[in-house]
C-alpha cells in the first residue's frame, strides 16, 4: 500500500497518452469525444485531440493506451472514511487502495461517523471534522483524493460554528439525520448556514441504516433542502416510490444512488429521472464502508447494473459517476476537459465478455476490466487486482 504525501506533485511534468481507442468525456451532452490523444501538464489536462495535430514534443512520460478506453477517474460521492486506509466498521485495512483498483480516484465523505467514540458535542464534532479534513488533505491513501472532514450536525449548533468550520477548510457536511437533528426546520436552518459559508450538504434519505440512526422521509428531505439527496434509493431501507418520485419532481438537488442501497429503488429513481429529463442530477456513491461492507468495485457495479437493467447507453451511465458528480459537487475532476485534473481510468471489455467492446459489455451487465489508473497525471496502479482482467491494457512506454 503506497501512501503519498500530497506535497509530492507532478509539477513541471508532461504526460502524453496516445492510441486511445475510446475517449469518454463524462459530459452527458457529448459522452464520447472524437480524439485519440490526451496531453497532461502539471497534473492537468492541457490538450485533447488527434495525435498528429497535437504537440507531443518534450514528452517526459508516454503511455500507449493500446486501443483501450480512457475514462475520467470515477468519483464516489458517498463514503465514510475514518483514519488513513483503515475502516473500523468492518475492521479492514486497505479499503481505499482496493477502491482505486475499482477505478475510484476521488471519494467524498458523507461523515466520519464510524470513528470509535465519535464526539457528539459541538466543540468535539468540530474538532473531529477539522482533524479529518487535515488528515486526508495531508495524506492520500494510494493517491486517492479523499475529501473528508464532514461534520454531522447536532442540536445546539449556531451560525458561528459553520463559519468557523468553513474558515478552517471544511467543505462538506456529513449526512443530516445521523446526528440529533432529524426535523425539517432545524435541518433547513443549519443547512442554510452551511451553504452561506460555502459548505455543501447531504442527507440520509430513508429508513435507519444501523441501530441508532433514524427515518428521514420526503418531508424532512424537502424541508432540509441539502445540496445532495443522499442515497435516494435508501441506505438500505428506501422510501415508498411515491415519496421518491416527489423528491425527483419537487427538488432540484442531486439524486444520489448508492451501491449499499435498495436496488429496485435505484432503478425506480433512474427511470423517473429519465422520464422527467433530469439525468444530469443523477450521481453515484457506494455508502461504503457500511454494514454491507466495502465494495471495491461498487461504482462500476452500479454503472453496469443501471446500464444493463435500465437499458441505458453505458457512456451515459459513466457520466453519473464522473461529470455529473463533478458539476453537482463543484469538483475540478470528472470531465475530459482542458484545465481539469488529470485523473483517469483505462478500461476495456473484460476477457471473454459477450460484448464486443467496453460499452457493449457494460450494456450486457459485465464489469469493465481496469488496466491502469492515473491521478494528477501520475500512474497510481496498473492492471487491477480486483476487476475481471481487461482484454487489453495500456503500456507505459517511458
Ligand atoms: Zn446514510
User: Mind listing the pLDDT tens digit for each residue in 155-192?
Assistant: 999 999 999 999 999 999 999 999 999 999 999 999 99
Cα-to-centroid distance, 223 and ligand 1 (Å):
17
Cα-to-centroid distance, 207 and ligand 1 (Å):
9
Cα-to-centroid distance, 206 and ligand 1 (Å):
8
Taking 60 as the threshold, does the pLDDT of residue 92 lie above it?
yes
Q: Cα(271)–Cα(313) distance, rounded to whole angstroms?
A: 13
Cα-to-centroid distance, 77 and ligand 1 (Å):
12
Cα-to-centroid distance, 80 and ligand 1 (Å):
10
- Position 10 scores a pLDDT of 63
Cα-to-centroid distance, 177 and ligand 1 (Å):
8
Quick check: 29 and 316 in contact, CB under 8 A? no
3-state SS string for 112-179: CCCCCCCCCCHHHHHHHHHHHHHHHHHEEECCCEEECCCCCCCCCCCHHHHHHHHHCCCCEEEEECCC
Cα-to-centroid distance, 363 and ligand 1 (Å):
29
Find the mean pLDDT for residues 68-81: 98
Q: Cα(317)–Cα(244) distance, rounded to whole angstroms?
A: 20
Find the mean pLDDT for residues 376-387: 97
Cα-to-centroid distance, 231 and ligand 1 (Å):
7
Cα-to-centroid distance, 374 and ligand 1 (Å):
30
Nearest CA to 2 among 379, 387, 263?
A: 379
More confident residue, 57 or 187: 187
Coil, helix or strand for 98?
helix
Cα-to-centroid distance, 89 and ligand 1 (Å):
14
Cα-to-centroid distance, 4 and ligand 1 (Å):
29
Give the number of C-alpha atoms closer than 13 A to the C-alpha of residue 237, restricted to the C-beta side.
11
Label residue 376 by pLDDT band (50, 70, 90). very high
- Position 13 scores a pLDDT of 84
Cα-to-centroid distance, 236 and ligand 1 (Å):
8
- Say which residues have a Cβ less than 8 Å from residue 245's Cβ, sequence separation at least 6: 268, 272
- Position 7 scores a pLDDT of 40
Q: Cα(108)–Cα(79) distance, rounded to whole angstroms?
A: 6
Find the mean pLDDT for residues 4-27: 80
- Position 9 scores a pLDDT of 52
Nearest CA to 177 among 148, 217, 126, 123?
A: 217
- Say which residues have a Cβ less than 8 Å from residue 29's Cβ, sequence separation at least 6: none
Please state, rounded to an integer, the average pLDDT across all residues of the chain: 95
> pLDDT digits over 256-265, tens only?
999 999 999 9
pTM recorded for the entire structure:
0.96
Cα-to-centroid distance, 33 and ligand 1 (Å):
36
Cα-to-centroid distance, 294 and ligand 1 (Å):
15
Taking 50 as the threshold, does the pLDDT of residue 271 lie above it?
yes
Cα-to-centroid distance, 178 and ligand 1 (Å):
7
Q: Quote the distance between the C-alpha of residue 344 and its chain's center.
A: 13
Quick check: 90 and 82 in contact, CB under 8 A? no
Taking 60 as the threshold, does the pLDDT of residue 24 lie above it?
yes
Taking 90 as the threshold, does the pLDDT of residue 322 lie above it?
yes
Nearest CA to 26 among 97, 98, 103, 102?
A: 103
Cα-to-centroid distance, 295 and ligand 1 (Å):
16
Cα-to-centroid distance, 303 and ligand 1 (Å):
20
Q: Quote the distance between the C-alpha of residue 43 and its chain's center.
A: 19
Name the percent of the chain lying above pLDDT 90. 92
Taking 50 as the threshold, does the pLDDT of residue 133 lie above it?
yes
Cα-to-centroid distance, 226 and ligand 1 (Å):
13
Cα-to-centroid distance, 141 and ligand 1 (Å):
23
Q: Cα(230)–Cα(152) distance, rounded to whole angstroms?
A: 13
Cα-to-centroid distance, 81 and ligand 1 (Å):
13
C-alpha cell at 333: 475532476
- Position 1 scores a pLDDT of 41
Label residue 209 by pLDDT band (50, 70, 90). confident
Cα-to-centroid distance, 290 and ligand 1 (Å):
9
Q: Cα(134)–Cα(122) distance, rounded to whole angstroms?
A: 18
Name the percent of the chain lying above pLDDT 70. 96
Label residue 212 by pLDDT band (50, 70, 90). confident
For 211-249, letters b (16+ CB in 10 Å) and e give: eebeebebebbbebbbbbbbbbbbbbebbeeebbbbbbe
Cα-to-centroid distance, 281 and ligand 1 (Å):
19
Query: Sign of dihedral through CA atoms 130, 184, 118, 146?
Result: negative
Find where cell 466520519 sits. 112
Amino acid at each position: 500500500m503506497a501512501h503519498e504525501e500530497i506535497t509530492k506533485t507532478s509539477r513541471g511534468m508532461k504526460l502524453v497518452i496516445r492510441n486511445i481507442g475510446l475517449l469518454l468525456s463524462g459530459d452527458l451532452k457529448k459522452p464520447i469525444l472524437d480524439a485519440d490523444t490526451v496531453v497532461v501538464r502539471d497534473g492537468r489536462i492541457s490538450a485533447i485531440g488527434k495525435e498528429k495535430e497535437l504537440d507531443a514534443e518534450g514528452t517526459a512520460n508516454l503511455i500507449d493506451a493500446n486501443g483501450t478506453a480512457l475514462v475520467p477517474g470515477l468519483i464516489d460521492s458517498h463514503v465514510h472514511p475514518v483514519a488513513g486506509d483503515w475502516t473500523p466498521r468492518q475492521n479492514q485495512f486497505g479499503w481505499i487502495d482496493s477502491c482505486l483498483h475499482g477505478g475510484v480516484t476521488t471519494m467524498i465523505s458523507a461523515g466520519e461517523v464510524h470513528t470509535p467514540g465519535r464526539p457528539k458535542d459541538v466543540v468535539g464534532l468540530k474538532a473531529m471534522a477539522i482533524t479529518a479534513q487535515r488528515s486526508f488533505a495531508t495524506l492520500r491513501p494510494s493517491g486517492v483524493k479523499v475529501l473528508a472532514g464532514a461534520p454531522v450536525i447536532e442540536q445546539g449548533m449556531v451560525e458561528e460554528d459553520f463559519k468557523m468550520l468553513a474558515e478552517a477548510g471544511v467543505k462538506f457536511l456529513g449526512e443530516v439525520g445521523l446526528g440529533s437533528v432529524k426535523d425539517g426546520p432545524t435541518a433547513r436552518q443549519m443547512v442554510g448556514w452551511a451553504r452561506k459559508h460555502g459548505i455543501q450538504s447531504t442527507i440520509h434519505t430513508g429508513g435507519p441504516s444501523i441501530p441508532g440512526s433514524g427515518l428521514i422521509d420526503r418531508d424532512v428531505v424537502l424541508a432540509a433542502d441539502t445540496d445532495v439527496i443522499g442515497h435516494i434509493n435508501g441506505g438500505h431501507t428506501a422510501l415508498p416510490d411515491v415519496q421518491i418520485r416527489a423528491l425527483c419532481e419537487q427538488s432540484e438537488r442531486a439524486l444520489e444512488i448508492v451501491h449499499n442501497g435498495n436496488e429496485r429503488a435505484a432503478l425506480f429513481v433512474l427511470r423517473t429521472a429519465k422520464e422527467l429529463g433530469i439525468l444530469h442530477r443523477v450521481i453515484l456513491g457506494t455508502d461504503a464502508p457500511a454494514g454491507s461492507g466495502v465494495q471495491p468495485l461498487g461504482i462500476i457495479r452500479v454503472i453496469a447494473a443501471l446500464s444493463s437493467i435500465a437499458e441505458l447507453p453505458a457512456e451515459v451511465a459513466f457520466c453519473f459517476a464522473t461529470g455529473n458528480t463533478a458539476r453537482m459537487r463543484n469538483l475540478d475532476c470528472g470531465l475530459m476537459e482542458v484545465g481539469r485534473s488529470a485523473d483517469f481510468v483505462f478500461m476495456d471489455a473484460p476477457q471473454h465478455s459477450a460484448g464486443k467492446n467496453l460499452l457493449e459489455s457494460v450494456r450486457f451487465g459485465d464489469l469493465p476490466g481496469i488496466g491502469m489508473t492515473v491521478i494528477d497525471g501520475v500512474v497510481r496502479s496498473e492492471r487491477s487486482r480486483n476487476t475481471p482482467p481487461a482484454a487489453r491494457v495500456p503500456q507505459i512506454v517511458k
